[in-house]
Structure 1
C-alpha cells in the first residue's frame, strides 16, 4: 500500500484559488430588468401592509421625454416632455414634429396630479375632480407610459408610448 505525501507549498495556492472562487460566486447578482413594471399591490404582500406604495417606493420625480406616434405627421410625431414635481404638480409640453404643423394645436398641461388608489402605479393629471382627466400615465422606475385616459389601459403598441426619464428634479 502506497502512502500519499502532501507538499505544504502546493496546498497554499489551491486554498487561495478555492477561497477566490467562493468570493467571486458571492459577487454574482441577478441581472436588473429596467423595463419591468413594479409589482402590483396584491403581489407586494407584506410591503403593501407596511405602507409601501409605488408613490413612496419609486423615484418618480423628474422629466420624461419621447416622440409619440401621430397620424398625419408625415414621418414625424408628437414630441412630449412631462415634468413630475415633488409637490405633485406636473408640466406637460407637446409639439408636433413633421407634417402640417399649423393644422392642429397640440394641448399642454400645467397642474396637479394624483396617484390612483386602485392600481397604485397609475397617475392622473387633472386640474380638479370635476374636470376630465387630461393625461394618465403608468409610473415605473426610470420611465412612464402614456395610458388611455378613461380606463388606464395600455395604448398599443405600448413601447411607442413610453417616455424615458431624462433628468432629475431641480431643487
Structure 2
C-alpha cells in the first residue's frame, strides 16, 4: 500500500487551515445542519455508500484527482493523483466511522489531514481540520460527487474465466487453481473448486444484480493438500447478489463485505 506523500498532507492543512470555518452548516448555504435529528441523519436516511469522484484543490499542483469509495461495512478505498505533477496513483485502504450526528464520516488514516467529509445527497463536502465546512472562493471545489452505478465490465459475466483472488476477506495466491465460468449459451456454470471440478446451473437477473447458483455437483478426487474447496462451495450456496465492474467480479450476501472476489483471466476455455 502507498501512503500519500508529506507534501499532500502539508498542502491540505494549508488550504484547509486558511479557509474560514462555517460553524452552522445551515440551510442558508445550501447544506443540511450538522446537528440533526438522529432518526433522519445522512447515515440512515441517504443511500450514501458508493464511489465519489472529484478534483480537490492542491497547493503545488493543478489539482488532486480523488476517488473515494465508502462501503456499508465501514471500509473505505481512496485513490489520489496529483495532476500536472505526477502520473502516479496513490491508493489507500482503511476504515471510517461516523460522528455522533450521523452526518460526517471520518477516515481513520495513518496521518491526519483531509479526512472528514460531510455527507449529502450524492455528494461529499471535504471539511477543514476542525470538522467545519470550508468557505471562501474555493469552497465549491471541496466536493466529491457520487459516481453512477457501475455498468457491466469490458469482460462480460458469461463465457469469461473468473479467477478467484480473495475468499472471505483473505487474498489468495495468483496461481491458485480456483475459477468459475458462467456459460452464455445455456444456464450452466462450471469450474475448479481447488481440488475437484464442479458444475451446476445458474439464474441471472442482471437488472437487479441477482445471481443464484443451484444443483452443484462435483468430481470425487481425493485431495491431499490443503485447499479452500469447502469454503468456496459454501460461498456458491450462500451468496445472493453480485457486482461486475472493471473486469472484477464479486459475489456478495445482502450488503455485507464481498464473500469472494474474482478477476477476468480471459475467455472461457483458455
> Is the shorter-chain TM-score for this pair beyond 0.5, marking a shared fold?
yes
Work out whether 1:110 is the aligned partner of 2:107. no
> Greater strand share, 1 or 2?
2
Cα drift, residue 72 of structure 1: 2.3
Give the structure 2 partner of residue 161 of structure 1: 142
Work out whether 1:143 is the aligned partner of 2:137. no
Q: Give the number of the structure with larger relative contact order, counting CA–CA contacts within 8 Å between residues 6 or more apart.
A: 1
Contact 2:114–2:126 (CA<8 Å) still a contact in 1? no
Contact 2:114–2:127 (CA<8 Å) still a contact in 1? no
Q: Structure 2 unaligned segments of length 5 or more: list them.
A: 1-26, 151-242, 244-251, 253-270
Secondary structure in 1 matching 2:146: strand
In 1, distance between residues paired with 2:103 and 2:89?
26
Larger Rg: 1
Aligned length: 123
> Greater helix share, 1 or 2?
1
**TM-score with structure 2 length normalisation?**
0.40
Secondary structure in 1 matching 2:147: strand
Contact 2:124–2:145 (CA<8 Å) still a contact in 1? yes
5 Å matches for 1:42-57? 42=36, 44=37, 48=38, 51-57=39-45
Cα drift, residue 97 of structure 1: 0.8
CA RMSD of aligned residues (A): 3.0
Q: Structure 1 unaligned segments of length 5 or more: list them.
A: 1-32
**TM-score with structure 1 length normalisation?**
0.60
Give the structure 2 partner of residue 81 of structure 1: 67
Pick the aligned partner of 1:124 from 75, 91, 106: 106
